Chains A and B, each alone.
Chain A
Amino acid sequence: MVGRRDFLKMVGAGVALAGVTGCVTEPRRSILPYTMRPPEVTPGNPLYYATTMPLDGYGIGLLVASREGRPTKVEGNPDHPASLGAAGVYEQASILQLYDPNRARQLTYQGGVRSVRDFVRAFGPQSTSAFGTPGNGEGLHLLLEPTSSPLTASLIARVREAYPAAGFTFYSPLSSSSELDAARNVFGRPLQPVYDLRAADIIVALDADLLDEGPFSLRYAREFADRRRLEEPSAGMNRLYVAEAGFTSTGVLADHRLRVRSTEVAEVAAALLELVRGGSVGATEGAAPMGGAVVGEGRGAQWRGNEWVRAAARDLAAHAGRSLIMAGARQPPRVHELAIALNAILGNIGRTIRYIDPVLVDVGLPTHSPVPLVEALRAGAVRTLVIVGGNPVYDMPADFEFGELLRRVPERVYCGLYRNETAALCDWVVPALHYLESWGDVRAWDGTASLIQPLIYPLYGGITIDDLLKVFLLEAATDAHQLLWESWRERTGGGDDFDEFWKDALRRGVIPGTTSPEVAVTGEGAVVRVQSMGGAGGEPRAGSVGVDRVPESGDQQGGGGESAKLPRGGLVLSFRRDPKVYDGRFANNGWLQELPDPVTKQCWGNAALLSPRTAARLGVEDGDLVELRYRGGKLRLPALHLPGHADDEVTVSLGYGRGGAEEVARGVGANAYLLRRADAPWFGGGLEVARVGEARGEERVVRTQERWTQEGRPIALVATLAGYRANPDFTHEHRGSQPSLFERWNYSGEQWGMTIDLSVCTGCSACVVACQAENNIPVVGREGVARGREMHWLRIDRYVTGDVEEPRIVMQPMLCQHCEKAPCEYVCPVNATVHSSDGLNEMIYNRCVGTRFCSNNCPYKVRRFNWFDYAVLRSPEEDLQLNPDVTVRARGVMEKCTYCVQRIRRAGIRARVEGRELGGDEVVTACQQACPTRAIVFGSLGDPESEVSRSRRQPRLYSVLHELGTEPRTMYLAKIVNEAPATAV
């Protein structure tokens, strides 16, 4: 026991000594030079390597920064068709996954550590395995993730040759075959569409999150935004119609958004088709809503009278050949068929859409359904199940009871990144390599192949899927690079210039000439014969007509199955990909867990999202704990009101409630897979919601922005295109000089400034994660966020404007505004935040004593305080990700966005060493680099021709809280919405 006196003595000594800590000199550090420095490495300067991240089988091209052998930052590869230079949240955060200390580290058999050689002995040439090598593979089944890799494809083909009876299944919980099934129904073969949004004036998205979901979303977002930049009021702009239940990033940018239950999207599509096919849209303008109706019963007629449907149909008809109808992966094939029919009638195919052969291995075959595997498991026909990647025990539909089935398999192998739920039930657990550690290849959505090259030697050991397949081929392990090199050498026919080809493919991150050719759907085998409205491209085509088989709107189904035929007035349960943890595979990633959901702003968990009206009907308050009862399953989670959500539908994110050995993921949120059923994977009727009580403790919703509106203040400005053209200067009250008592700065050199175009910000949050990765921003955890201590230098404020029932959302990235007259600078007692000669508001950590006066005086609330020594909480593995150009802040220090000053200074030094001036567009901040839509523009205002200077000449420029006279260097371009003129009627 410590007595009172001793205690006081120690406290006193502690206080006295606390002041002395500043006097301790740092211990002498060491310098460890290379023994043999690789010629390409210049210690101190980053090197970028092109590689590709595979996600659900499709590749996204990346450039990854390597600092003396440590990959530290992911950026998009401008040469890659799926990236165009951008990188989304998953790509950005994948670097943290590489260093995740919870990754599987050891190969084990029933918990005991084994070597790779033991594994090879068990399944390789001298196998004693249950499936009886060297037999025909009877009883062997491989459950893989979807893959497009040419190398893996060839190895799979050879395994099939060696074991003709072996079963294969490709499963990913978020994959959907709707698109391909529809194409097969219409064209007679599975085809996948590649859209060209640059050529589309009118885009109709039917439950399709085209700007933030899917393997080509980064490209689509760029193409979409390129038609919306509106450099001057008279410039043209595309128009986006979105019909959806939840609020996605695409819905945020919609010019017209239809709040519709997921089950009714098919009816909307059918009504659209009726109106467009009827050809009466233009003629019926002003006529009775029902005029020209073809099928006149039930809800179909009601939808045909719907304002949104009529406006969309009118616009489509007027833009034949320059429009695009997209159906979402969540929707059943029926909706995709309707979309194909619409596109065919409008003559869009071949103009805004091209079809290519599917990219994934086996796609369109039954192996892409888990049902055959589950049936074989139930029949006890599988003796050895090899699961590579994924987490089927967690993410298979609950009615399969996959975990139970797996337990009955005599021999179970799992190869994955983590010791997750699936690994826990397997005998053999083989650590897999992260894509940043492995050699491989993968194809993008449009078929373009690219190489995966490692950035670092495997941290914890492990193998790739290719290595694993080699084991089953009874072949000696070869060097992974050698394997890949040989496979491409064979594929390209070798030749003398192969070495050049190989180096070029590695350097550029794209293999030229591999993009899939367009499949002419008018050609042989095509079954579409559509009388196009658009003239050219509308010649009669042979075969039966897809459109004629379009279903009547009476028998629409949801995700399929009986239950989807819901009674009107019942509740629909709808599942969605989580914008942060995807299907659950990124659930152990602190950056993504702490990333606020783009719309709800929820961190660290999921919730039952429902519209305020439905919530009121059910008596569920915002933040209440509810129990979802759905087809025999129950799930408790907090409810969250989401303005703009469809009535009578509840949306739940997949990917939470993990129960594996991953420390970050465990226990966060609720596992919605427990309610998922195989016959209705995305939505279905028959949901009951019961209020349990107020959510408390761990079940409480944690959000970074509780409020929805701007409380009537002009913060995020929105105008219609017509209004903007009529009054281009509508933001003039929010810019320009303000009277001030403070003297002007005496500037020299470049003048840094940023402009953010709210018109194209989807809120996808790639910038937030990019900033976190670049600037060593710590994760504070659920409790920290609950106390408002999140550290993001860049946040995205989300405001609802207009009607609460039919709201519009405007996203506003908010970061340090780098005010000319910065309120923070005036109150800092120690000059820790000062102004630089090139216009930055500098934050000097080593001077900061933590009074927090600056934060209190900042009207934009962008300053963050280090309440704890977060750096100490980071694992040594994660330390490897740190950017060596940015100080790791200590406890008691204020921090904030610096405009990536480390990049500015590095670029400035490089330019001056080369004896030239720094270009106005030469510095690219991390957020700007990541932005898929290029909403963020950064550069020198001193250069009148820089991109940022040009953006400053747009009339819709304004600064936030202009009336305060802070004169921010970060300015915004008001959001312009391109409403269809006729809908004003």
Chain B
Amino acid sequence: MPALFPRWSDTLLRVGIVGVLAAVLLAVGFAMAWVRTPQITGQFSPLEQPVEFDHRHHVADDGIDCRYCHDLVERSPYAGVPPTERCMNCHNQIWPDSPLLAPVWASYFKNEPIVWRRVHQLPEFVYFDHSIHVNKGVGCESCHGRVDRMARVYQVASLQMGWCLDCHRRPERVLRPVEEITTMGWVPSRPQEELGRELMERYGVRRVTDCTACHR
């Protein structure tokens, strides 16, 4: 009796099985890769804001410390977007007539907040605390990137859990002296890991990977 299937059909079957498996794996891999793309994480896309605030000018040109405006960063979970009156501290004298400042004046006189769009958005089940990071030697730049070079601020880090855990498992890779917290473009004077380990010792930094450190 002649064979029902020709010999090459075995090959076809084998290739088919491998192909289907590969397709499934690829699909999963593609999905995993896809959620890590800036498309999903929201990285690198500057957001339009109600006020054309330029960090380049304020940080790089004027040399204003981050903490002048984000003054809560050392004592609150939030870094704090400055109240309108903070802008007015300078701008009632400097460029008071600039049309760019019109929304700020409006906010100030109507006592209505400026509605900023959130750049760094964590899910609601994540509790991030700025104060502990800043006080233990995690620089602004480590997470927010070179804000002094951003016209409109955008998100640099993926803000995904793996990115958090990279540091939480090995803090020595990012730690810097607390005096340099707000420095942009800081370069370690010694090999980072060596300095990091010393700073961990000095500041009592722990490798915190308990779930409830962030999820409560």
Contact = CB atoms under 8 A, between A and B. Distances in A.
Interface of A: 25-26, 28-37, 42-45, 748-749, 834, 836-838, 840, 842, 844-846, 885-888, 898, 901-902, 904-905, 909, 912-913, 915
8 contacts: A28-B117, A30-B118, A31-B81, A44-B72, A44-B78, A840-B212, A886-B216, A912-B132
Contacts of A837: 210
Given A33-B114, A845-B125, A912 B135 contact: yes
B125 A846 contact: yes
Contact of B111 (A36, A834, A840, A904): A36
Contact of A834 (B72, B123, B124, B211): B211
A909 B132 contact: yes
A543 B84 CA distance: 74
B36 interface: no
Interface in B140-179: none
Contacts of A33: 80-84, 113-114, 116
Interface residues on B, range: 35 or more
A905 B204 contact: no
Nearest to A838: B210
Given A35-B111, A842-B212, A887-B216, 12 more contacts: A26-B121, A31-B116, A32-B114, A32-B116, A35-B108, A37-B83, A42-B76, A43-B72, A43-B76, A844-B211, A888-B124, A905-B127
Interface in B71-106: 72, 74-78, 80-85
Contacts of B206: 748-749
Nearest to B78: A44
Max chain A Cβ within 10 angstroms of own Cβ: one of B115, B123, B213: B213
B115 to A, nearest CB: 5
Contacts of B112: 35
Nearest to A893: B125
Nearest 7 interchain pairs by C-beta: A44-B76, A836-B210, A32-B113, A35-B84, A37-B83, A33-B81, A34-B83
Contact of B215 (A44, A844, A912): A844
A26 B41 CA distance: 11
A97 B111 CA distance: 30
B211 A836 contact: yes
A838 B84 CA distance: 42
B50 to A, nearest CB: 10
Contacts of B111: 35-36
Contact of A29 (B40, B75, B82, B121): B121
A909 B76 contact: no
Interface string B2-32: 0000000000000000000000000000000
Given A30-B116, A35-B111, A846 B123 contact: yes
B212 A30 contact: no
B182 interface: no
Interface SS of B by simple majority: loop
Contacts of A886: 216
B116 A846 contact: no
Nearest to A833: B211
Contacts of A844: 211-212, 215
B124 A887 contact: yes
A885 B212 CA distance: 12
Interface string B185-202: 000000000000000000
Contacts of B118: 28-31
B89 to A, nearest CB: 12
A763 to B, nearest CB: 29
Contacts of A913: 74-75, 131-132, 135
A845 B74 CA distance: 29
Given A30-B117, A32-B115, A845-B125, A901 B84 contact: no
B216 A36 contact: no
Nearest to A912: B132
B125 A912 contact: no
Contacts, number: 118
A963 to B, nearest CB: 29
A36 B112 CA distance: 10
Contacts of A25: 40, 42
A749 B84 CA distance: 42
Contacts of A834: 211
A890 B121 CA distance: 19
Given A836-B211, A837-B210, A913-B75, A901 B116 contact: no
A883 to B, nearest CB: 10
Contact of A905 (B40, B82, B213): B213
B195 to A, nearest CB: 20
A887 B212 CA distance: 11
Nearest to A834: B211
Contacts of A846: 123, 125, 215
A887 B125 contact: yes
Contacts of A30: 115-118
Nearest to A42: B76
B107 interface: yes
Given A905-B127, A909-B131, A887 B76 contact: no
A913 B123 CA distance: 25
Contact of B75 (A34, A36, A45, A887): A45
Nearest to A749: B206
Given A29-B118, A905-B216, A912 B211 contact: no
Contacts of B204: 912, 915
A874 to B, nearest CB: 15
Contacts of A888: 124
A748 B213 CA distance: 14
A505 B166 CA distance: 50
Contacts of B131: 909, 913
Given A43-B72, A885-B127, A912-B204, A842 B83 contact: no
A921 to B, nearest CB: 20
Max chain B Cβ within 10 angstroms of own Cβ: one of A26, A34, A749, A885: A34
Given A28-B121, A913-B75, A842 B84 contact: no
A17 B73 CA distance: 41
A854 to B, nearest CB: 15
Contacts of A29: 118, 121
B113 A34 contact: yes
A914 to B, nearest CB: 9
A32 B116 CA distance: 6
A930 to B, nearest CB: 20
B175 to A, nearest CB: 14
A901 B76 CA distance: 18
Contact of A36 (B42, B83, B124): B83
A898 B125 CA distance: 15
B142 to A, nearest CB: 18
A767 to B, nearest CB: 20
Given A30-B116, A30-B118, A909-B129, A887 B215 contact: yes
Nearest to B132: A909
A749 B207 CA distance: 12
A902 B77 CA distance: 12
Contacts of B124: 887-888
Contacts of B123: 26, 846
A954 to B, nearest CB: 29
A902 B42 CA distance: 28
B55 interface: no
A296 to B, nearest CB: 69
A43 B118 CA distance: 16
Contacts of B42: 25
Contacts of B132: 909, 912-913
B8 to A, nearest CB: 37
A42 to B, nearest CB: 5
A885 B215 CA distance: 10
A842 to B, nearest CB: 5
B211 A36 contact: no
Contacts of B135: 912-913
B76 A45 contact: yes
Max chain B Cβ within 10 angstroms of own Cβ: one of A748, A840, A888, A912: A912
Nearest to A29: B118
B51 to A, nearest CB: 12
